[in-house]
Amino acid sequence: MRIRLLVAFLLFITQVQAQITLHNTDLPAAGDMYNISLQTTGNAALDPTQTGPNFTWDFSNLQSNSHTVDTFLSPTGTPYALEFSFGSHVSDIAQRGTDLNLLILQVSNVFNMFRSTTGAYAFTGYGGQVYGFPVPFYCSPKDTIYKFPLQYQNTDSSDSHLTASLPGIFYFSQQRHRVNVIDGWGTVHTPNGTYPCLRLKSVYTDNDSIHIDTLLHYGTNLPAQTRIEYKWLAAGSGDPVLEIDANDLLGNPVISAVRYRYDSLNTSVPVVGQGALKVYPSPASGFLFFQWPESWTGGQAMLTDLQGRTMATLEYGSSTAIIDVRNLPEGTYVLQLKNQFKVLTGKVLVQH
């Protein structure tokens, strides 16, 4: 009897020790970038609902159809630094987003903004171009993505309100109710490797309204939409090692996106000169991100073609910056960063 009790106790201790606890230092920070693989076909066969304690998830057979680079930088390296530097909207992390189609409203050059503290990792809004104007979309109250510490069976919720307007042009409002639950822990297998992890399920419902203040005075409330995010989070991984997003259809998840970390992708380029210049992604089709040593504060970035013709210039201050290459012809370009002391040079390929 004593032996059985001892074995049961040892098994209990082993399971408790295997559970991990995550903090804000395990999530993305300014200056981080992650190679991401996307599976866009065969998603209907996946079942992300299976979970539990000491669970093993096997997604090692995922097939990548495309790749991207998830880039995080300081808000000071974006066109919306001022809007997210003060008051309740202050942010310390920016993430390159995707263009948005809000019914008849097009939002381009999007940067998502976040605030990371020891208590929470929260979405504070995003900046975007609307009708050629830079517009902040403020989220107040904030949307709590993660509440720390992250531990098995933790549950939390938040109610956030995202608003934006251009007087005389448009007004947009989005009210979101989010519920987060850590519904599993264990081991997840992906094509990139095997990770001890926590599984986070987030369910959020959006209620959007938009008003266009033109001569038509058009306005509408959009139908409520419920979405589900399944994330597998590992210690020190930054981005989730695996994320499966789904739309809720009568209580059933219909998968809309599958993305997972794939660290063997090479997004750096050869560098001539001293220091560490990182240029990504390569090839680039929309925006070119570049990163250099923090000691390089203040200088000029110049993008030229192989004939030496200047295609873009930028005065920079922080250690990350962006150049728009959407309208450049395909080909190889040279990026040169210089200040009063040094010059860094790297090459990048533009493909549309």
pLDDT digits (tens, 9 = 90+) for 64-98: 887 777 888 888 878 898 899 888 889 999 998 88
Average pLDDT over every residue of 124-137 = 93
CA–CA distance, 295 with 162 (Å, rounded to integer) = 36
pLDDT higher at 125 or 66: 125
Per the prediction, the chain carries an average pLDDT of 84
Within 10 Å of residue 157's Cβ, how many Cβ atoms? 14
The structure tokens listed for 167 are 């007087």
- What are the DSSP calls for 259-281, one per residue? EEE-TT------EEESS--EEES
Q: Which of 85-99, 191-205, 276-290 has the lowest mean pLDDT?
A: 276-290
> Residue 334: pLDDT above 90?
no
Phi and psi at 45, nearest 5°, equal: -80, -10
pTM: 0.75
Indicate the domain borders of the chain: 20-261, 271-350
Q: Which of 132-136, 216-220, 348-352 is most confident? A: 132-136
Instruction: Kindly state the DSSP code that residue 151 receives in the 8-state scheme.
Output: -
Dihedral pair phi/psi, residue 16, rounded to 5°: -60, -40
pLDDT above 80 (res 172): yes
The CATH number of the domain covering residues in 271-350: 2.60.40.3080
Alpha helices in the chain (DSSP H): 2-18
Q: Which residues contact 10 (CB under 8 A, 6 or more apart)?
A: none
Binned at pLDDT 50, 70 and 90, residue 272 comes out as very low
Answer yes or no: is pLDDT of 203 > 70.
yes
- Integer Cα distance of 286 and 136 in angstroms: 21
